[in-house]
């Protein structure tokens, strides 16, 4: 977007030093659902941040009223609510809805995919957003990236999982393609909204669960029930959540309101990733030191088996679904360029510097 043009449309008062940019336009009130409870103040907070920024930048003329899960629709019912125009928009994760279209996985994360920074680069500079807009077009939805969690953890387990054999028969909450791969490895997979994870684990309906990372997982209290915390979250190396906006609602907005909304979402995504990167290290330390959580790596056997099954699944889906094949081809091209660069530069630095204490 042309920032100077945008500021010009905001009006001359916005260019004044220290002045809050305010636009003129009609009064618009949107109902916005969220898949995430208010207790997840970073994840759910991303859409609250957008609501605050949009209202401020439009002088209160464009208002987003945000509803956590259960107030209008359940956490996993956000996309249906947007399609049915029960709400104008909703914060959710595309991979919750792979049953509608498997390519929605690319809107959130795929196994052994891109890191958080790489994902954002692919979305905004590698053609990813354009391709995902085409996928969503069949559902009358305009997707806007809103929120980035960074690399996620591998989840909470009641019992040790040292081998693929240990996974067989395990009941685990895990969505997206990661869930498909776990199914192939013998896991009984469930998809649950955030507010339902702790109760399911507590009553023994599931034996294991992945959620996000140390900060959010601690807030949900998952360490109170399952004591083994595994890494890495190979199915979610970099996650973006999405503001799914009803196509009609988006098109009816004045152009400047659309630009305000898109800009606020980009800003919130950057802030969300920064908040997670700031909060997760201290949370992990608390989990291990204060709560006695056992931090464990997935075995090489599990990672290798997961890698093989992931590659097979992605190739099979590409053969079966033209839309999936198109998005995956773009994703794979970008990854083939990004991985060698990061492996040669940043990984070399990380391998040397990260294990060392401050000089």
pLDDT-derived band at 257, boundaries 50, 70, 90 = very high
Is the same domain home to 230 and 241?
Answer: no
* pLDDT, tens only, 308-322: 999 999 999 999 999
Is the same domain home to 106 and 248?
Answer: yes
Q: Which residues contact 30 (CB under 8 A, 6 or more apart)?
A: 62, 63, 64, 65, 87, 88, 89, 249
- Residue 20 backbone phi and psi in degrees, to 5: -80, 125
Is residue 347 a part of any domain in this protein? no
- Overall average pLDDT of the 261-282 stretch: 98
- Overall average pLDDT of the 60-81 stretch: 98
| Closest among 192, 240, 231, 189 to 213, alpha carbons compared | 231
Is residue 351 a part of any domain in this protein? no
Read off the CATH number of the domain in which 319 is found.
3.40.190.10
**β 155-157/208-209 pair status:** antiparallel
* pLDDT, tens only, 281-303: 999 999 999 999 999 999 999 99
Is the same domain home to 78 and 104?
Answer: yes
| pTM of the shown model | 0.91
Task: Give residue 169's pLDDT.
Answer: 97
Q: What's the domain range around 219?
A: 155-235+290-327
Is the same domain home to 90 and 142?
Answer: yes
Q: The tokens of 325 are what?
A: 């094949």
pLDDT at 15 over 90: no
Could you give the CA distance from residue 200 to residue 263 in angstroms, rounded to a whole number?
38
Chain centroid to CA 317: how far? 22
Task: Give residue 21's pLDDT.
Answer: 56
Let me know the angle formed at the C-alpha of 334 by 330 and 338, rounded to the nearest 5 degrees: 170
- Mean pLDDT of the residues in the chain: 94
What are the beta bridge partners of residue 150? 239
Dihedral sign of CA atoms 167, 168, 173, 176 in order: positive
Could you give the CA distance from residue 97 to residue 141 in angstroms, rounded to a whole number?
13
pLDDT-derived band at 20, boundaries 50, 70, 90 = low
DSSP 112: T
Is residue 336 a part of any domain in this protein? no
Is residue 342 a part of any domain in this protein? no
* pLDDT, tens only, 71-101: 999 999 999 999 999 999 999 999 999 999 9
User: What are the DSSP calls for 303-317, one per residue?
Assistant: HHHHHHHHHHHHHHH
pLDDT at 8 over 50: no
* pLDDT, tens only, 99-154: 999 999 999 999 999 999 999 999 999 999 999 999 999 999 999 999 999 999 99
pLDDT at 1 over 70: no
């Amino acid at each position: 977007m042309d920032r100077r043009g945008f500021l010009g449309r905001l009006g001359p008062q916005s260019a004044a030093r220290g002045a809050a940019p305010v636009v003129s336009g009609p009064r618009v009130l949107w109902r916005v659902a969220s898949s995430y409870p208010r207790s997840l103040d970073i994840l759910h907070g991303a859409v609250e941040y957008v609501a605050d920024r949009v209202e401020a930048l439009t002088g209160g003329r464009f208002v987003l009223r945000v509803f956590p899960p259960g107030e209008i629709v359940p956490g996993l019912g956000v996309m249906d609510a947007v399609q049915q125009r029960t709400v104008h928009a909703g914060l959710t994760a595309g991979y919750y809805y792979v049953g509608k279209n498997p390519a929605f996985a690319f809107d959130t994360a795929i196994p052994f995919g891109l890191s958080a920074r790489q994902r954002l680069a692919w979305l905004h500079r590698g053609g990813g957003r354009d391709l995902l807009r085409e996928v969503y077009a069949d559902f009358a939805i305009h997707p806007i990236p809103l929120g980035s969690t960074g690399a996620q953890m591998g989840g909470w387990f009641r019992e040790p999982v040292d081998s693929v054999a240990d996974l067989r028969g395990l009941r685990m909450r895990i969505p997206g393609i990661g869930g498909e791969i776990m199914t192939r490895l013998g896991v009984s997979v469930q998809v649950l909204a955030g507010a339902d994870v702790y109760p399911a684990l507590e009553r023994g309906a599931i034996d294991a669960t992945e959620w996000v990372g140390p900060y959010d997982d601690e807030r949900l209290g998952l360490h109170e029930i399952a004591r083994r915390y595994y890494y890495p979250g190979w199915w979610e190396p970099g996650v973006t959540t999405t503001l799914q906006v009803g196509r009609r609602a988006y098109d009816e907005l004045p152009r400047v309101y659309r630009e305000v909304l898109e800009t606020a979402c980009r800003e919130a995504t950057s802030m969300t990733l920064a908040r997670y990167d700031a909060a997760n290290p201290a949370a992990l330390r608390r989990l291990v030191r204060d709560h006695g959580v056992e931090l464990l790596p997935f075995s090489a056997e599990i990672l290798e088996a997961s890698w093989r099954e992931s590659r097979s699944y992605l190739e099979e889906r590409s053969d079966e679904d033209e839309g999936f094949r198109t998005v995956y081809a773009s994703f794979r091209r970008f990854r083939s360029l990004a991985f060698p660069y990061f492996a040669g530069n940043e990984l070399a630095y990380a391998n040397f510097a990260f294990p060392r204490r401050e000089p």
